Amino acid sequence: MNGLKDRMMSILKPATDICEATKCQIYSLLEVFLIHHEETVTLKIRDDGKGLPDNFEESDNKSSLGMELIQTLTKQLNGTYSYRSLESGVEFELVFNKSDRKGVGFNFKVSPDVQS
């Protein structure tokens, strides 16, 4: 589980660094959801910032630390990601397959009554 915690912190750190550097609003909202499905795990990260610009092109922003971390994580875990602008903020969704092998994917054993 430490691997997951480390990966989560590496994804979230750029958001907090940017907030500190730009002196964004004091009460920023950063929501993180981890949703268990039978075969996959979905990680949703949502904030209430200014969102993505209307002309945002992922190919133009591949060198940003946040995008680089998301792309690297999903590639390492054979996952997928998507993003969308919200009325206030942005939401990223990362989906990974579960695995019983240590070091591959997520090693979650979830009882049926806990799954979504």
Which pLDDT tens digit goes with each residue over 19-47? Answer: 666 666 556 788 888 899 999 999 998 88
Q: How far is CA 15 from CA 10, 47, 91, 94, in A?
A: 10, 9, 12, 16
Considering the entire predicted model, what is its pTM?
A: 0.63
Whether residue 14 contacts residue 47, with contact meaning beta carbons closer than 8 Å, is answered with: no
Which residue is associated with the tokens 């990260």?
45
Q: What is the pLDDT of residues 63-74, one digit of tens each?
A: 577 778 888 888
Domains and CATH numbers, the chain: 2-97 (3.30.565.10)
Q: How far apart are the first and last CA of the chain?
A: 20
Note the residue count of the chain.
116
Question: What is residue 52's DSSP assignment?
Answer: -
Nearest to 83 by CA among 41, 43, 34: 43
- Structure confidence at residue 115 as a pLDDT band (50, 70, 90): very low
- Measured distance CA(64)–CA(11) in Å, rounded: 12
